[in-house]
């Protein structure tokens, strides 16, 4: 039998919305047992976000397969004491409250570490546990704005390009949380001690600018500030950009190296473009303007046919359900078919990228569906469970 690498790992997930739940979804897909602790008055807000299918949030469904749900009121003494007792049976705890909330509840790192020294505790927040803005409210768009990521994309002289996806939440939050959690797990094998993992989504978002920002720091006074739409990888070069087609679609040209852009120029009948294509002092802009004008003369299908079979790093920009039909993604097994019991619905799940074994998807839990089961496993007796599960 193909065993998943994190089989036997137990994770207690107190987080909400996207960053924490996506991190624990990856852990669940790698074999970990993930139990979500939700508040009794509605649970995770994602449960109530549209779109809905037969009364169930599609967003919640996409984030919470193969997890269980227990309801505890952590603001009550009984709920707090139950969590203190419950957490001893877990390897990791993930939360996404503002800094200080868990301490005020009597459930912070120092308290839990003193009682359960092997516990790995991950706190995901917008700006981290320290610094003048640690208590500041925010969402993904705010974090990428503060990190400089938002300001780096878009046309030169124009407005920043809206990213459309949650770079700060997933890239800055979920993925760095996973790195921290797994690094702490490896360390615990050596020391026997858990660790506090402080994840700032704003810190994490700066990773998307690492090459550019690190180079700027190295150049010091000899360099220039980062500029939107004017540099090699954000629109300044004709060989690396997005071009509108006649039918309102878009073509992604990623022919960064001269050998690839030479192939593009040859296919387009303009080999002379290569001579100026990399001159950011003016030549590149001229070539880009001519390429923009040419691409706009024909529909996307014309360009995909022209570049088919050529090794030149040119791809159509897929939109809507085109992604779901992409032959490469399907060949990689990114879409997983299942039957949702007990409803009997046929569903397709989006896998997380790391596939290190076979995953059998289970439907996301209803609010508090496993409260009695989880508490009984932790040693609570029937009378204690009845007091907590109302």
As a whole number of angstroms, the distance between CA 284 and CA 273 comes to 9
What is the three-class DSSP state of 291? helix
Tell the residue number behind the tokens 């896998």, with chain if given: 351
Q: Nearest to residue 10, comparing CAs of 356, 377, 340, 358?
A: 377
Element (H, E) at 13: strand 10-13
Catalytic positions are 139, 169
Question: Could you tell me the sign of the dihedral formed by the alpha carbons of 45, 48, 50, 55, in that order?
Answer: positive
Q: Nearest to residue 143, comparing CAs of 79, 96, 187, 75?
A: 96
Q: Are 123 and 197 in contact (CB under 8 A)?
A: yes
What is the three-class DSSP state of 274? helix
DSSP letters along 37-64, please? Answer: EE-TTTSSGGGGPSPEETTEEHHHHHH-
Cα R_g (the chain), whole angstroms: 25
Residue 218 makes CB contacts below 8 A (sequence gap 6+) with: none
As a whole number of angstroms, the distance between CA 192 and CA 261 comes to 54
Q: Nearest to residue 389, comparing CAs of 55, 107, 79?
A: 79
Q: Are 37 and 70 in contact (CB under 8 A)?
A: yes
As a whole number of angstroms, the distance between CA 157 and CA 144 comes to 19
As a whole number of angstroms, the distance between CA 100 and CA 23 comes to 22
Give the number of other Cβ atoms within 10 Å of residue 165's Cβ: 10
As a whole number of angstroms, the distance between CA 372 and CA 381 comes to 10
DSSP letters along 210-259, please? Answer: HHHHHHHHHHGGGS----TT-STTTTSSTTEEEEE-TTS-EEEEE--SHH
């Amino acid at each position: 039998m193909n065993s998943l690498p994190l089989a036997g790992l137990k994770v207690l997930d107190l987080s909400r919305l996207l960053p924490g739940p996506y991190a624990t979804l990856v852990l669940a897909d790698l074999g970990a047992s993930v139990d979500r602790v939700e508040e009794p008055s509605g649970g995770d807000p994602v449960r109530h976000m549209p779109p809905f299918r037969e009364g169930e949030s599609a967003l919640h469904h996409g984030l919470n397969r193969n997890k269980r749900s227990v309801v505890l009121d952590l603001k009550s003494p009984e709920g707090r004491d139950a969590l203190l007792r419950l957490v001893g049976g877990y390897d990791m705890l993930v939360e996404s409250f503002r800094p200080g909330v868990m301490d005020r509840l009597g459930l912070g790192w120092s308290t839990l570490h003193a009682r359960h020294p092997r516990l790995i505790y991950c706190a995901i927040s917008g700006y981290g546990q320290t610094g003048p803005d640690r208590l500041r409210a925010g969402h993904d768009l705010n974090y990428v704005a503060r990190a400089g990521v938002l300001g780096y994309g878009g046309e030169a002289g124009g407005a920043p390009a809206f990213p459309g996806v949650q770079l700060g939440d997933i890239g800055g939050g979920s993925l760095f949380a996973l790195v921290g959690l797994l690094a702490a797990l490896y360390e615990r094998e050596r020391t026997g001690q858990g660790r506090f993992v402080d994840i700032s989504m704003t810190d994490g978002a700066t990773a998307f600018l690492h090459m550019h920002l690190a180079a700027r720091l190295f150049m010091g006074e000899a360099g220039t500030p980062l500029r939107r739409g004017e540099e090699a990888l954000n629109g300044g070069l004709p060989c690396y950009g997005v071009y509108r087609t006649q039918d309102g679609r878009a073509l992604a040209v990623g022919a960064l190296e001269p050998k690839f852009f030479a192939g593009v120029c040859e296919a387009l009948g303009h080999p002379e473009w290569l001579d100026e294509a990399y001159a950011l002092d003016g030549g590149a802009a001229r070539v880009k303007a001519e390429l923009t004008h040419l691409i706009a003369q024909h529909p996307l299908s014309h360009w995909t046919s022209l570049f088919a079979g050529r090794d030149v790093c040119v791809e159509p920009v897929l939109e809507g359900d085109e992604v779901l039909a992409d032959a490469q993604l399907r060949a990689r097994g990114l879409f997983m078919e299942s039957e949702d019991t007990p409803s009997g619905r046929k569903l397709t799940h989006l896998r997380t990228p790391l596939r290190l074994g076979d995953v059998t998807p289970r439907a996301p839990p209803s609010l508090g569906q496993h409260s009695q089961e989880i508490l009984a496993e932790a040693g609570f007796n029937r009378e204690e469970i009845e007091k907590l599960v109302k």
